[in-house]
Amino acid sequence: MNLNKGHLIILQARCSSKRLPGKVLMKINGIPLVVLIAKRLTNRGSKIIVATSSHKSDDKLVKVLKKNHLNYFRGSLKNVLSRYQMIAKKLKNNDYIIRATADNVFPDGLLVSKILNHFKKIKKNYWRIDKKKHNFPKGLSIEIFTKNRILKLKKNLNKSDKEHVTKAIYKNNINYYQSFCKDLKLRRNYYNMNLSIDVKENFNFIKKIFKDVANPIEITYKELLRKV
């Protein structure tokens, strides 16, 4: 696996969602959700790898990834953190990792670039968007951290820490990792809106937003928000 120096997006995805099984393969504008998310996140040149499980439930997902020429890694089904750590070991020591999830289709290359620029300025080892301060809805969020920070998560981890990847970093001091980024703040307040795909109703809502979008891969998150 030849990964670029600088940053890598890791998109976690699985088919065994409890509330909406197989949602990552459900189609929006004829494109499987996981593929659409991956291509939107990389529409400004970033590299991506889809982190899924080695469980048979994700065999179909891997076939779709192969068909669409998307890099992937298969690891533990329940210990999602370990997937990130296995991938991180192959990166340069000063590389950044951007964490994205396959239930959030709004994030794109523009959002990635804004977060990268902010992260380089604040010089921390982890950062996440404060949705309330930036007027962000649920479902428009990605996290960023250094390779070394994620690899340090080894001791005293519980089941939730392993499933939610970065929880062990911020659970005792979330405010420290939520500095304000002026370039990200939205004029309209979307804070109480849910744009994440958790259940069928969410999927139908998002599918309706994309219905008349000519190029669902290139349209920016800001342009999509105007359609909500």
Predicted local distance difference test score (pLDDT) of residue 4: 44
Above 80 in pLDDT, residue 166? Answer: yes
Mean pLDDT of the chain: 94
Q: Evaluate whether 60 touches 15 at the Cβ level (below 8 Å).
A: yes
Residue 172: pLDDT band with limits 50, 70, 90: confident
Q: Strand (E) positions, the chain?
A: 7-12, 27-28, 31-32, 48-53, 72-75, 96-101, 126-127, 143-146
State pLDDT tens for residues 189-202.
999 999 999 999 99
Write down the pLDDT at residue 74.
98
Please give the radius of gyration of the chain, using alpha carbons only, rounded to the nearest integer.
17
Say whether pLDDT at 171 is over 90. Answer: no
Residue 219 corresponds to which tokens in the numbers above?
């349209």
Tokens 């307040």 belong to residue: 189
Interacting residues of 2 by C-beta distance below 8 A, sequence separation 6+: none
Nearest residue to 50 (alpha-carbon basis) of 25, 13, 104:
13
| Ordered DSSP codes for 24-38 | GG-EETTEEHHHHHH
In this structure, are residues 140 and 107 in contact, taking their beta carbons and an 8 Å threshold? yes
Looking at residue 205, its pLDDT comes to 97
Q: What is the pLDDT of residues 5-22, one digit of tens each?
A: 599 999 999 999 889 999
Contacts (Cβ under 8 Å, ≥6 apart) of 227: 209, 213
Q: Does domain 7-225 have CATH number 1.10.260.40?
A: no
Q: What is the pLDDT of residue 168?
A: 93
For residues 202-215, average pLDDT:
96
Name the helix (H) or strand (E) containing 191. Answer: none
Angle between helices 109-122 and 33-41 (to 10 degrees): 50
Sign of CA dihedral 129, 137, 32, 16: positive
pLDDT in tens, 141-156: 899 999 999 999 998 8
- Cα 222 to chain centroid distance, Å, stands at 17
Residue extents of the structural domains in the chain: 7-225
pLDDT exceeds cutoff 80 at 2: no
Q: pLDDT > 90: what percent of the chain?
A: 90
pLDDT band at residue 178 under the 50/70/90 scheme = confident
Measure the CA–CA gap between 152 and 173, rounded to whole angstroms: 17
CA distance 198 to 43: 24
- pLDDT at position 174: 78
Could you tell me the two tokens for 127? 């950062």
Q: Give the DSSP H/E element, type plus range, for residue 102.
A: none
